[in-house]
Structure 1
Amino acid sequence: DFWFDWKDRQWWPIVTPVTTITFCAALQYYNWVNYRQPFGATLTILALAAGKWIAVYTSWYWWSN
């Protein structure tokens, strides 16, 4: 769809980094307040990367079979 693609191309450079940073900051705050762990944001980034890899792998496997 033309309008969806246009909006996606326009907003992803702004929305994606802000959302990722906000999500990591929120989980870092939760980990710091409850567990006093200074590496919560790092664990969040690793979890997001692992989730993305799993999503890409399973999508490719589903599509190819």
Structure 2
Amino acid sequence: LIADEDGELCEVFGVWQLKKFMGREYMGIVRSTFIISPDGDILKSWDKVRVKGHVNEVLEALQSL
């Protein structure tokens, strides 16, 4: 979990995007998960994450590294 008060990381990771909800369009953060190596490389990413079952997917990916 990373705090990003100024939105800089949202821009870098591409998670600040146009969203649509109930016919309304607005800019917001797309729920995403990243596995980042100690060197800063993105090893795995998921976007538009659905909570149900997601933790198991991430755990499996971590265990396979």
> What's the TM-score, normalizing by structure 1?
0.31
Higher helix share: 1
- More strand by percentage: 2
